[in-house]
Structure 1
Amino acid sequence: MKNIAADVRFISGVLLAHLLMYFTFQDKSIFWYIFSAALLLLISYSIIMEEVEDKAPFRTFITYGALSGFLLYGIFWVGYSLFDILSLPFVNQIDKLYGRFSPSLIWHYIVLILIIIPGEEVFWRGFVQKRLMKHTTVKLSIILSSILYSSVHFYSGYWMLALAALIAGLFWGWLYAWKRSVPLVIVSHLIFDLFMFVLFPFN
């Protein structure tokens, strides 16, 4: 664990992510502009500091990525349905999240697919988790990287978004540790977002 604190690349990357995400969530009117720019910077930082890992064949990462993305959406759908059935107040916050952060213009969807989804996986799994795996056990690296991934979402002002990021982070972290393939988790994230924002949104 002491080696993590001495890992300048790791610490600098996490601090950079917090700084960028803090500014990303400050102004709704320019959210998608800043979010796109932030992820481009994090992608650049990641590929300079750490080699992108892909140990899964093409057919494997497409198949496992698609199935896992659908599975994760199913988990979230079950959770949302329980909240709705029990009339928990969390449902209102979910509606507000969709209203504030969902893509609404064509270019939002384009940058979501080409920049934001790949950027999050390249940085949080391909850089943060991979460097943690050098200093800790696989299990601990999944937990720590997921907590860090979740933490930047608190700047949104919605704890439900941070909770969703934690659950998704644990899922994708485990998937990455299992197959050691960034493209696989990118496909999984893409399928999940496709269902969440385009095909069957929760609002």
Structure 2
Amino acid sequence: MKNLTTDFRLLIGLLLAHLLMFFTFQDKAVFWYIFSATMLILISYSILNEELEDRSSFMSYILYGILSGFILFGVFWIGYNLIELLNLPLINNISKLYGRLSPTLLWHYIVLMLIIIPGEEIFWRGFVQKRILKYINIPSGIILSSILYASVHFYSSQWILAFAAFVAGLFWGWLYAWKQSMPLIIVSHLIFDLLLFVFLPFS
């Protein structure tokens, strides 16, 4: 019987993601160009190899998407304020991340909303997690796919970004396994990023 380690479509997809994300984080000056191209490639690979699911009605995925986006932001907001309250040196790391990776130009926000957010969810939840769940149980699959999602963020040289990706991956992975709706997850991710980068940034 085929198992996780012999799913070559999954393994090739992960190898491709690591290769592309390695180059994405190499140069701040071209970060947004490379990241956009990376997500377009990963979207294409995902769609060619796995069907996307949408088992929620329009109102359901809008409502759950908005609500869950606020909930996840609330979790991060509490975490940030605890770090600030305890005066941990992680504040400097967070400030550096904002300075290096935050969108600053109009086209950054456009590609973030139209390419990067959908691309991350389509690839990591709609392709990677979905394929992993064919071989192992849901809790283990969500944890494993979240670790894999976090792993490509280590190329940023900021472990806190990888940790944040892991936490977000657990949240969106559970939500996708529960609702099986890609639009819902994309809306949730969109709301979270808008709060994080536009309306209530931490730095």
Shorter-chain TM-score category?
Answer: over 0.9
- Distance between the aligned counterparts of 1:122 and 1:11, measured in 2? 16
The residue number in structure 1 matching 2:86 is 86
Which residue identity does 2:134 align to in structure 1? K
The residue number in structure 2 matching 1:24 is 24
The residue number in structure 1 matching 2:168 is 168
The residue number in structure 2 matching 1:112 is 112
- Distance between the aligned counterparts of 2:183 and 2:5, measured in 1? 28
Structure 2: unaligned runs, 5 residues or longer: none
Matches within 5 A, 1:1-203: 3-203=3-203
| TM superposition shift of 1:17 | 0.3
Which string of whole-angstrom CA distances, capped at 9 and with x for unpartnered residues, describes residues 109-167 of structure 1? 00000000000000000000000110110111100000000000000000000000000
State the identity as a percent.
Answer: 67
Return structure 1 stretches of 4+ with deviation > 2 angstroms: none
The alignment partner of 2:133 has SS state of helix
The alignment partner of 1:134 has SS state of coil
- Distance between the aligned counterparts of 2:2 and 2:49, measured in 1? 20
Which residue identity does 2:65 align to in structure 1? G
- Distance between the aligned counterparts of 2:47 and 2:16, measured in 1? 15
Which string of whole-angstrom CA distances, capped at 9 and with x for unpartnered residues, describes residues 9-31 of structure 1? 00000000000000000000000
- Distance between the aligned counterparts of 1:2 and 1:93, measured in 2? 42
**TM-score (normalizing by structure 1):** 0.99
The alignment partner of 2:32 has SS state of helix
- Distance between the aligned counterparts of 2:157 and 2:123, measured in 1? 22
- Distance between the aligned counterparts of 1:124 and 1:54, measured in 2? 16
How many residues end up aligned between the 2 structures? Answer: 203
